[in-house]
A and B are shown apart, each in its own frame.
Chain A
Amino acid sequence: MEAKVQKKHQRKHSGRKAEKKSRKQNEQESDARKRNPRAFAVQSAVRMARTFHRTQDLKTKKHHIPLVDRTPLEPPPIVVVVVGPPKVGKSTLIRCLIKNFTRQKLSDIRGPVTIVSGKKRRITFIESGSDISSMIDLAKVADLALMLIDASFGFEMETFEFLNICQVHGFPRIMGVLTHLDSFKNNKVLSKTKKRLKHRFWTEVYQGAKLFYLSGMVYGEYQTQEVKNLGRFISVMKFRPLVWQTSHPYVLADRMEDLTDPETIRQDPKCDRTVSLYGYLRGTYMKNKSQVHIPGVGDFAVGDLSFLPDPCPLPETLKKRALNEKERLLYAPMAGVGGVVYDKDAVYIDMPGGHVKQQDNAGPTTELVQSLIGTHATLDSKMAASKVSLFSGTAALSQDDQPTESHVWDPKTHRERRKAVFTGEEEEDDHDDDDDDEEEEEEEEDEEYNEEDENEVEIEKTDPPMKRLKLEQRKEMEETPAFADSDDELEKSEDDEEDEEERGTGNGDSGHCSEDNDDDYGSEEAESGTEDDDNKEISDMEEDVASGTNGQRSKASSGQEEEDEEEEDQSYSTAGSLRWKEGLAEKAAEVFLRQQRAAPNLRKLVYGTVVEEEEEEGEEDEEVGGLFRVSRPEKGKRRRADGLDCSRFEPDDSHDWEQEEMLASIRDCFVTGKWEGNTDAATLLKEDDEIYGDFEDLETGEVHKGGSDLDHEDEEEPQVKVDDTEAQKNKRLEKKKRLKERFDAEYDDGDATYFDDLKEEMHKQAELNRAEFEDVDDETRVQYEGFRPGMYVRLEIPSLPCEFVTNFDPHYPIILGGLGGSEGNVGYLQMRLKKHRWHSKILKTRDPLILSLGWRRFQTIPMYHIEDHNGRHRLLKYTPEHMHCGASIWGPITPQGTGFLAVQSVSGTQANFRIAATGVVLDLDKSVTIVKKLKLIGYPCKIFKNTSFVQGMFNSVLEVAKFEGASVRTVSGIKGQIKKALRTPAGAFRATFEDRLLMSDIVFLRSWYPVTVPRLYNPVTSLLLPAGQKDTWTGMRTVGQLKHDLGIRNQPNQDSLYKPVVRQPRKFNKLHIPKELQKALPFKSKPKQTQPKARTPRDLQRPAVIREPHERKVAALLSALSTVYNHKKKASRVKQHTAHKEFLKQKDRAEEEKMRRLKDVKKKMYQLMGQKEKKKQKSSLKAEGA
């Protein structure tokens, strides 16, 4: 069908419609503030200030300390930990989520399962057991915790315990999931329960924390839509960086291989094992040869660290919105999925042989393997792209060299593995050889069972040409030493040029060591032979730098000296002066080459050749036992080893600072020298002229033009016209840009706050971090940076205890936590600790406690203490009930500010809340200063005035001598001082007091006795326990437990027992004051004789008056009259008062009236006056105008 050509809409540019439109647009554009400015006018300055203040407050509240964004470009899969009490539906949820993301069913979930969930996100699911060890370990590595809660039951202790663990070790994102909601028959009860649980969850996490409801099961799975929603939530979730995680590298191992020589195992089944562990590196950069802690096993040094191609990569193209079926990858080697796994030196194809028959029709796992085998070409290309040598020591493979299978029965995982073995490879993989023969039959059986499978294998079998090609490539690559692939390749290409050049010139030039070096690396045959020479040359170079003198150069003719010096600047080697006689072009070419090569050379000079050195180390390792040796060139080693340790850098004698040329060579280092284009004062002035040069003098109307512009135009115009316009345009653009920059600088800076500046700085740093090593290839990059997070790494760990392998259980997480600088050491840690408020008992000093601190879980003996007002740390017997206290332990050095939690035992499940205490590390030290109060008691044996002899406090004269001058005290509070020891009885001393003692007094000496912290550091080795008993680890028992277990009852000292205190009521004698004293006392202090008042004697009593009847009448009348008079007086006064008030009011009114009138008059008058004035002015203006 032909597309109909529609007439294009033509916008009106003039006319009514256009006007209308523009008006409308204007109205819309201008905001309310513009349309109605009055509404937004300032009403009250105070209120405005307040609102401003408030907005600023709110703004600042949102600020966080800006951190440098160190998230890698390709981040590792996020770790989603599914936790909850047993039988709550954890495995089911993981299974459903995996099915949701990858459309695959995973029957048994063992170990971490990594899937690709989207274009930019991968997820590792791991299930946490309900034992506290697993919960602790996984809380430390979790990015997101899915907390499953059985709604029909309510919250269980595990949930709260996990939340508390999270709180201590940095809070990952937490999402609650309510399950078993179908058990509610009543809808009202259901909604009520939901609400109750939600609010409780909110108080624990934060208000509004996400809680998911999985309403019911359909055929043993959760409802698809709900799972889908949950999956969506997970895949768009954002995470905050946690301090511990971002400052430590860690690996959640998803695969484990035992590399120990089977012969050694046969000879000694309990020998230490060499194990390689695989997983995504997370957190931060990990350095080779670093130390790791494996929680549940212990501390180990990493023997070898290398990165492998990503087994579960993100889709390469990001065109489509959704992932296609091929990109929905699933990687779970411990669960028997993952198919082809390629390692440093072998390719494993995992086929769950035992289950093949059952899974033939349904089996998603085999499907995956098949799909992987089917897409062998891509894998191959991937393998080729990744620079990992697949088969070390590959001999030439013939055409019919086909991979044969060898079956390995893995006793740990109870499954059979088909391993692809190449005949040429048999020498290395000899332990596989043994099994080969026996299991070939099985293999055949397998093939019978699984025809499809065989087909796929056949495809693989037809593959060899491709593989061989790749192998050849590899061989080529391997011939050059693996050191810094990029550099050497670069050098190689350069070498070719160089060689040609050299042949052309025919110049041997043995003095030029950098070139020689390159030659050596370029030519493989000579490599081993010339290695010594190499070293020598490196040492030569070094010496040159060291001495700065050069015999050759000093002899060189003075004419060449200048060039010579230049040459020396370019490299630190002795160059034959002859070389400089050659043509200039050649020289330039060489300079260029050398400049390009200089970096690797300098690196070699400083660091030597890394790979070779490491090999040597490896050899030495066996001899010295993990001790590192510096490999230095042989020549002059002794001399340098004992040389003068001095940082001074002696000046180069060859520089003659008398000469003009030398002086001229540093002219530009001074402000008086020439400046670069963009900072030179002259050019800057010129630029300024260009920008600000054009102006018009308003007074004179003269137009000034930027002088330079005029000049340029005048000069350039006649010459080239086309170029000129272009150049002008550019110039104008540049000018504009510069102007804008200046404007920005002027106006933006004023607005920028400290916070903005800080953020900007961090942002810049982050960008620099990203950009710096972006274009370096991984092999070199890992040497500079270490292995960066997001890489799939393989850690080889020598000397792991054999129980780790024999008792391996993939249900328990294996975490390799990298340790920082000093974190591999032990020392005393001072911590702030608080008993958890839900823990039922207080904690006792010297009772062993299991701490989870950093990566570690270990048992130790804490000593609780509290700081006195004078900074003394006083020992406490028990932790305070609702208060923080100090705790000192002997344990691994961990940075201050790290949180920890304590449990009393990790074995079994207790009824109560298991977390005993939480806290934070405050201080690290190699000694402790806890003291315990010690009271020495003595009794006076002889009392003089203020002096007493005290005995029973000490046992010898020597002891007393130590305490001479110490202050003592009696129970009654009399203070004193120890003076000198007495001869007899031993330990008695003379002491003086501020008052006389009584024989019944007790004298005591208060002293502080330093306490030592027991040096117990016992890592919880729960992973080494046999399967099924891993959560039964018990360490040192407390005294209480020991007594309980052994049935020992405490025999208390009789004196220590409490008895009822019977106290006699105290009777005091009457106070007797001698008469003489009484007399002398002032009246106030005299004892008062308070006697009852005596009756008035008769003669003093006044008789009562009795009136005559007439008198009585008169008195009554008088009183009546006076009453009447008083009343009258009062009434009249009230009346007068009101009248006066009225009068005042009237007066006021009159006054007001008067004022008003006056005002009116005045107003009129002023009006008149104003008018007159105006008239006058007008008339005067007129007069003037006229």
Chain B
Amino acid sequence: LCGSRRNNNMASQGLTYDGCNFFRQRLILSTLSGKRVKIRHVRSKDDNPGLRDFEASFIRLLDKVTNGTRIEINQTGTVLFYQPGLLFGGTIEHECNVQRSVGYYLEALIMLAPFMKNPLRALLKGVTNDQKDPSVDLLKATAIPLMKKFGIDGDGLEIKITKRGMAPGGGGEVLFTCPVRRTIRPVQMTEPGKIKRIRGTAYSVRVSPQMANRIVDSARSILNQFIPDIYIYTDHMKGANSGKSPGFGLTLIAETLNGTFLSAEMVSNPQGQGETILPEDLGRKCAKILLEEVYRGGCVDSANQSLALLYMTLGQQDVSKTLLGPLSPYTIEFLRHIRDFFQIMFKIEVKKPNEEEMKGGNKVLMTCVGAGYTNISKTLK
């Protein structure tokens, strides 16, 4: 029979992409959907072709949390083949590359963590705050409450910063624990609610502890025009907990009545790179970024848009709705990838605020029917 020979390999398809942009999205969605992926022409025209160290580190991290993953990289590192295994989870420890902050890795882990076989307990070491990626503080303040809305809660869900490490030296340590879930709940987040309070963390390591206080004062000076309930914690880590490089920064979180968290952050330039920034300027700028974020609005802040969309996609076969601010380019690409991997398209509607209301810019209402995804890794006892 000529049919039987083919039937032994199953019909699972693969996808091919060019270039290393949106590298994480592709690997994450590949892992969740079980479709293999091939990424070609990774910086093939670059002077220094192939995958960078931080990407290699990311692949290693994926390898740690999965079982049976097959990764093939060619000699120059310009072609990557990734055949996903099953998400395993458990206790892992990972030395994140200092080229990117822990946020780069943590974002991916947050997306994968609820679908593991065992509850994840990941100790990530590296740079906790830098200027490229969302910092760990920001994820702690925004991603965790967002996950809770999707039914991923319980006492196991936590991001804990035990050591803070600034770029470029790193030396920070973050503990991320997450319980596993079989299914994700559909959500209807269409009403962001009004901001009731603003919280924040001003941190400084290996510089004068006064820096944090100066940041706080300057940030408050701007935000006080809107709301009196502002409290910004100062967090000055010392000794072994302070990492290898000096720096300071601010993370601001605006919480609404409906439990939406909008965030903004700003970090000082890494040591030896760029001009030194005054803490007052940093505070003011960060406050303005928060105002920008409020202006964009939505029920999910701009850093977590893709996370929310992913969980909506992976929900049960019900309609989920979320009101977002303007879609970031990363999110737009993520939507395309979701369609590639899960064949799910979102209904995208623009919601314009009323004329007389002063609630910032246009919002986007995202609607989708979930893929009916269930956590196939979780053991049945």
A residues neighboring B (CB under 8 Å): 68, 70, 247, 270, 272, 284-285, 287-293, 297-301, 542, 545-546, 568-570, 572, 595, 598-599, 602-603, 605-607, 624, 626-630, 637-638, 640-649, 651-652, 655, 657, 662-676, 765, 768-769, 772-773, 783-786, 799-804, 819-822, 824-827, 892-893, 895-897, 920-927, 1017-1019, 1021, 1024
Contacts and interface: CB of A to CB of B under 8 A. Distances in A.
B335 A641 contact: no
Given A545-B332, A822-B376, A628 B15 contact: yes
Nearest to A292: B11
A783 B348 CA distance: 13
B34 interface: yes
A646 B7 contact: no
B226 A667 contact: yes
Interface in B313-362: 316-319, 326-332, 335-336, 339-340, 342-350, 352, 357-362
Interface of B: 1-4, 6-8, 10-25, 32-34, 38, 41-43, 45-46, 67-68, 85-86, 104, 107, 117, 132-134, 186, 188, 194-196, 222, 225-228, 257, 288-289, 291-295, 297, 302-303, 305-306, 316-319, 326-332, 335-336, 339-340, 342-350, 352, 357-362, 364, 367-369, 371-374, 376-381
Given A247-B372, A638-B45, A645 B194 contact: no
Contact of B328 (A647, A673, A674): A647
A642 B303 contact: no
A606 B359 contact: no
Contact of B3 (A670, A801, A892): A801
Contact of B10 (A299, A546, A626, A671): A299
B335 to A, nearest CB: 5
Given A545-B329, A673-B194, A926-B85, A784 B6 contact: no
A642 B19 contact: yes
Given A646-B132, A647-B328, A655-B295, A896 B8 contact: no
6 contacts: A627-B14, A627-B15, A671-B195, A785-B369, A824-B10, A920-B380
A896 B291 contact: no
Given A602-B349, A924-B376, 16 more contacts: A70-B317, A291-B12, A642-B19, A642-B20, A663-B226, A663-B291, A672-B226, A674-B358, A772-B367, A783-B345, A801-B6, A804-B3, A821-B376, A827-B86, A896-B378, A921-B380
A309 B358 CA distance: 49
A825 B291 contact: no
Contacts of B343: 287-290, 786
Contact of B368 (A297, A657, A668, A784): A784
Contacts of A599: 347-350
Nearest to B186: A765
Contacts of A569: 352, 361-362
Contacts of A647: 107, 133-134, 303, 306, 328, 330
A565 to B, nearest CB: 8
Given A666-B358, A666-B360, A821-B342, A605 B332 contact: yes
A546 B329 contact: yes
B50 to A, nearest CB: 11
What are the 4 A-B residue pairs with the smallest beta carbon separation, nearest first?
A926-B68, A641-B19, A801-B3, A822-B34
A606 B332 contact: yes
Contacts of A602: 327, 348-350, 364
A303 to B, nearest CB: 12
B88 to A, nearest CB: 8
Most chain A beta-carbon contacts within 10 A, residue among B42, B133, B194: B194
B317 A284 contact: yes
A1021 B21 contact: no
Contacts of B24: 645
Nearest to B18: A641
Contact of A669 (B2, B32, B297): B297
Given A649-B330, A669-B194, A284 B372 contact: yes
A384 to B, nearest CB: 28
B194 A768 contact: no
A626 B349 CA distance: 33
Nearest to A647: B330
A769 B319 contact: yes
A671 B13 contact: no
Contacts of A924: 86, 376-377
A164 to B, nearest CB: 22
B332 A542 contact: yes
A543 B15 CA distance: 25
Contacts of A628: 13-16, 340
A925 B68 contact: yes
B369 A285 contact: yes
Given A647-B107, A669-B294, A896 B11 contact: no
B328 A607 contact: no
A801 B13 contact: no
B34 A640 contact: no
B83 to A, nearest CB: 9
B70 to A, nearest CB: 9
A809 to B, nearest CB: 16
Contact of A672 (B227, B289, B327, B339): B227
Contacts of A925: 67-68, 86, 117
Contacts of B372: 247, 284-285, 820
A545 B33 CA distance: 28
A648 B132 contact: yes
B21 A644 contact: yes
A572 B332 CA distance: 13
B379 A1021 contact: no
B369 A643 contact: no
B226 A670 contact: yes
A68 B318 contact: yes
A1024 B7 CA distance: 12
A922 B381 CA distance: 7
A769 B378 CA distance: 28
Nearest to A547: B329
Given A642-B46, A669-B194, A648 B1 contact: no
Contacts of A672: 226-228
A603 to B, nearest CB: 5
Given A606-B332, A671-B195, A784-B368, A642 B21 contact: yes
A1021 B7 contact: yes
B11 A824 contact: yes
B66 to A, nearest CB: 8
Given A595-B350, A630-B336, A1024-B3, A624 B376 contact: no
Contacts of B23: 645
Nearest to B107: A647
B348 A603 contact: yes
B3 A545 contact: no
A606 B336 contact: yes
A1119 B167 CA distance: 121
A302 to B, nearest CB: 9
Contact of B42 (A291, A642, A783): A642
A665 B360 contact: yes
A666 B294 contact: yes
A784 B345 contact: yes
B359 A668 contact: yes
A672 B198 CA distance: 13
Most chain A beta-carbon contacts within 10 A, residue among B21, B329, B349, B377: B329
A896 B378 CA distance: 8
A70 B369 CA distance: 12
Contact of B1 (A673, A1017, A1024): A1024
B373 A821 contact: yes
Contacts of B17: 630
Nearest to A801: B3
A669 B195 contact: yes
Contacts of B8: 1017-1019
A669 B336 contact: no
B266 to A, nearest CB: 10
A1024 B46 CA distance: 52
A889 B194 CA distance: 55
